[in-house]
């Protein structure tokens, strides 16, 4: 069974809390090398400022993932040091970057990974669209509210917890089979 990329754990997320941790998706969705590939991809289309790259990546996922400036700008510097990109106008108040030959070669060499990244982020956009369907949104809200209410009880018995887990697993199985 193919795992939905919107719900998969990133390979290095386990030491930092894993999928069950309290970290937000944006912190473990992509690593720095993924971000660099996406930056090269967007720079291959148009010259851009760091902020424009952030917005391009965010738009791909319909706002579900937005890289922070703290990951974009150091990676722009690194790509510039590696001669993959260069500044369009060093005198401008905001640096716009363009893709160099080394960046084009790296992008071409890693095109399958770029396509996988685009597919992962695009699947988040589909997820956002489907979650926004009123009936789906209401059902998710009802499940979350009911579950939180039940699990917030101080003296919940092991038998009750087992029933909750069983019901959740049954619901997940039924959804997966539909």
Within a domain: 35: yes
- Asked if pLDDT for residue 28 goes beyond 80, the answer is no
> Are residues 18 and 95 located together in one domain of the fold?
yes
For residues 44-68, average pLDDT: 94
3-state secondary structure 98-157: EECHHHHHHHHHCHHHHHHHHHHHHHHHHHHHHHCCHHHHHHHHHHHHHHHHHHCCCCCC
**pLDDT tens digits for range 67-86:** 999 999 999 999 999 999 99
> Are residues 21 and 48 located together in one domain of the fold?
yes
pLDDT for 125 equals 81
> Are residues 123 and 88 located together in one domain of the fold?
yes
**pLDDT tens digits for range 109-131:** 999 999 999 999 999 888 888 88
Within a domain: 7: no
């Amino acid at each position: 069974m193919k795992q939905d990329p919107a719900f998969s754990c990133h390979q290095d997320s386990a030491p930092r809390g894993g999928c069950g941790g309290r970290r937000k998706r944006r912190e473990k969705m992509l690593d720095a090398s993924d971000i660099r590939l996406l930056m090269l991809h967007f720079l291959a289309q148009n010259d851009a400022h760091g902020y424009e790259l952030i917005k391009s990546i965010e738009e791909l996922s319909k706002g579900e993932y937005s890289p922070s400036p703290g990951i974009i700008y150091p990676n722009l510097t690194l790509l510039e040091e590696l001669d993959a990109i260069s500044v369009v106008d060093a005198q401008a108040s905001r640096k716009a970057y363009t893709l160099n030959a080394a960046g084009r070669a790296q992008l071409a060499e890693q095109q399958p990974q770029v396509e996988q990244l685009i597919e992962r982020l695009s699947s988040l956009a589909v997820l956002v669209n489907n979650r926004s369907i009123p009936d789906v949104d209401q059902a998710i809200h009802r499940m979350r509210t009911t579950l939180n209410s039940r699990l917030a009880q101080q003296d919940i018995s092991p038998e009750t917890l087992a029933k909750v887990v069983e019901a959740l697993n049954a619901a997940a199985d039924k959804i997966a089979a539909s």
